[in-house]
Chains A and B, each alone.
Chain A
């Protein structure tokens, strides 16, 4: 065997084909390495550094983590953020599933489906922040909703909880992110073989049984992708919470943003590391349910 190898040395011809995928993937790899991997490593390193009101100092301290994890405020803020994530997930899931189900199964023509889809997408061309604040004239004390409610005699006082409350924060989240649920669920629904539904019906399944036993299981991957989007977006958000709670509520993202604005970078970094770990654990738990790579 070994003599054969020596006797007939393989001529290694340089082939571009073999390295082509590496060259093609390199720009993506480089961008992600420079602007994602190294920055996150920087955060991890800086989270152990020392700081005062002026500057940050290279060091190796656990103080930032100890301060963070022993504070009541931290735990309350994390719980509050998770509460937002769960509630927003629940609402966007119900809305997203219903809307996608209607367009995928009840609208027959492809053109009409396309048109309805575009209608849902157009509002996303407006800046997120502008879309957020556009709820203010709607929900405010003298807002449209309050005036309408008083007009039809439901209440005689303006409802105060509508704006600058958990209610307005969650409403705005649902408003901003519902489409992130609609699109992936719609996508999975469109890939369901329509014969399966026909077969379920022929087998005597009711509409509800078909929904539970055929459509929902086959839509799982879309639901998962939507869930990952909504949950990670809400977990990291700070601007919606700041603008729509009027400073009444806190979220982890907001906590980090506040630390950044006070130039307490190491504290912000420690907080960011904890947030990252929690988000990654959540996503890892979700990915145990469905393998997205298979679904692409």
Chain B
């Protein structure tokens, strides 16, 4: 491509981008700073000293509700959603590589699942359980509600992934006498692994943060977003900000671990990969 001079347009757009980043980070950084507010400090600036007081308060059960319980439920639910999203999306992605009867309606159903307002899904599942006389719970109704949100995303990612996927690898495996299952297990899945980790990550973050779809489906034991929401209406101390800081750090840890997983897979693949065509 021709080298373009960095003219006025470039700098104008670059400053716009800079402002956008500032817009995205400004508030989050603000609350991270405010979470170190001193013991007498309030929800806003100025900082009244500097302390870890509010982080300590966070872990005292009686002070802010069931933070530990809701966190562990959210993490566990996120994990289950991740596993199911990866498996079901991969399986559906494989199906959609061929035209099958009902593929178009199923595709539109998945899209519908994305555009139906979350509160409707929540209300619908809550009512369905109510009518059937079943208690909603985080690991049944809420799990289903979260999947209606994560699966369409997973499916769309799988479409994008299979568009770029070279079928020659699978054909080669088949020519070598591999069964469909062997082909899937030893060829398709390993090649797709980084994308599958991506799908899982997506599923986890969507579930971990889902509020509206959890509202009527979680039952008596809260997940974390519901707990946080409860706190925004009842807690008026910087302990909220401490909670924000801690949960952000937690999700950063999870994401980093997953990204590290991708890098590890790729490195291992590079190390153990075939030397075909390298002329060794």
Chain A residues within CB distance 8 Å of chain B: 16-17, 20-25, 27-29, 31-32, 34-40, 42-43, 46, 56, 95, 98-99, 101-103, 106, 108, 116, 119-120, 122-131, 133-138, 140, 142-144, 147, 175, 178, 194, 198, 207, 228-229, 232, 235-239, 243, 253, 256-257, 260, 265, 268-269, 272, 275-276, 279-280, 283, 292-293, 296
B148 touches A296 (CB 8 A): no
- Extra contacts, 20 of them, besides A40-B116, A256-B120 (Cβ < 8 A), are A21-B103, A25-B92, A31-B148, A35-B121, A35-B148, A42-B131, A43-B123, A43-B124, A46-B131, A98-B17, A99-B20, A102-B13, A123-B28, A126-B248, A128-B209, A134-B244, A135-B27, A142-B45, A260-B126, A276-B117
Which residues of B8-45 have CB atoms within 8 Å of chain A's CB atoms? 9-10, 13-14, 16-17, 20-21, 23-28, 30-31, 34, 43-45
Chain B residue nearest in CB terms to A143: B44
CB < 8 Å neighbour of B44 from A17, A42, A142? A142
- Could you tell me the distance between the alpha carbons of A260 and B125 in the complex, rounded to whole angstroms? 13
Query: Which residue of B24, B96, B131, B243 is within 8 Å of A130 (Cβ)?
Result: B243
Are B244 and A35 in contact, CB atoms less than 8 angstroms apart? no
A130 CA to B98 CA, complexed, in Å: 43
With A137-B45, A142-B45, A276-B116 given, is the CB distance from A102 to B17 under 8 Å? yes
| B199 contacts A by Cβ under 8 Å | no
Asked whether any CB of chain A lies closer than 8 Å to the CB of B77, the reply is: no
Rank and list the top 4 A-B pairs by shortest CB-CB distance, nearest first: A236-B117, A39-B124, A35-B144, A24-B95
Given contacts A102-B13, A296-B156, contact A25 B100 (CB under 8 A): yes
In contact, A25 and B103 (Cβ under 8 angstroms): yes
Nearest CB in chain B to that of A231: its residue: B115
Sample (19) of A-B pairs whose CB atoms are under 8 Å apart:
A21-B100, A22-B95, A29-B106, A34-B144, A99-B20, A125-B205, A128-B209, A130-B228, A130-B244, A134-B28, A137-B31, A143-B44, A143-B45, A147-B45, A243-B232, A257-B215, A276-B120, A279-B115, A296-B156
B151 within 8 A of A: yes
B247 in contact with A130 (CB, 8 Å): yes
Beyond A21-B100, A137-B44, A175-B27, whether A43 also contacts B91 by CB under 8 A is no
Q: Does B113 lie within 8 Å of A36, measured CB to CB? A: yes
Least distance between B156 CB and chain A CB atoms (Å): 7
The A interface, classified by DSSP as helix, strand, loop or mixed, is helix
Identify which of residues 78-105 in chain B touch chain A, using a CB-to-CB cut-off of 8 Å. 87-89, 91-92, 94-96, 98, 100-103
Instruction: State whether B43 touches A137 (Cβ < 8 A).
Output: yes
List residues of chain B with CB within 8 A of the CB of A269.
Answer: 123, 127
A28-B151, A120-B21 as given contacts; A21 in contact with B117, CB under 8 Å: no
A40-B120, A236-B212 given; A296·B163 CB < 8 A: yes
Task: Name the B residues within 8 Å of A32 (CB-CB).
Answer: 106, 109-110, 113, 148, 151
- B124 closest partner in A (C-beta): A39
Interface string of B129-157 (1 = CB under 8 A from A): 01100000000000011011001000110
* A239 engages B212 (CB within 8 Å): yes
Contact across chains for A99 and B17 when beta carbons are under 8 A apart: yes
Instruction: Give the nearest-CB partner of B9 in chain A.
Output: A207
Whether A24 and B91, one on each chain, are in contact in the complex, defined by CB atoms closer than 8 angstroms, is yes
Chain A minimum-CB-distance residue to B44: A137
Q: Is the CB of B144 within 8 A of A134?
A: no
CB–CB B117/A42 < 8 A: no
Q: Are the C-beta atoms of A22 and B100 separated by less than 8 Å?
A: yes
A39: B residues at CB distance < 8 A: 121, 123-125, 127-128
**What 1/0 mask marks residues of chain B from 52 to 69 whose CB sits below 8 Å from any chain A CB?**
000000000000000000
In angstroms, Cα B63 to Cα A192, docked, is 55
B44 adjacent to A120 (CB under 8 Å): no
Q: How far is the CB of B63 from chain A (nearest CB, A)?
A: 18
Q: Are B117 and A31 in contact (CB under 8 A)?
A: no
Residues from chain B with a CB closer than 8 A to the CB of A292 are 111
**How long is the Cα–Cα vector from A101 to B23 in the complex, in angstroms?**
18
B229: interface (CB < 8 Å)? yes
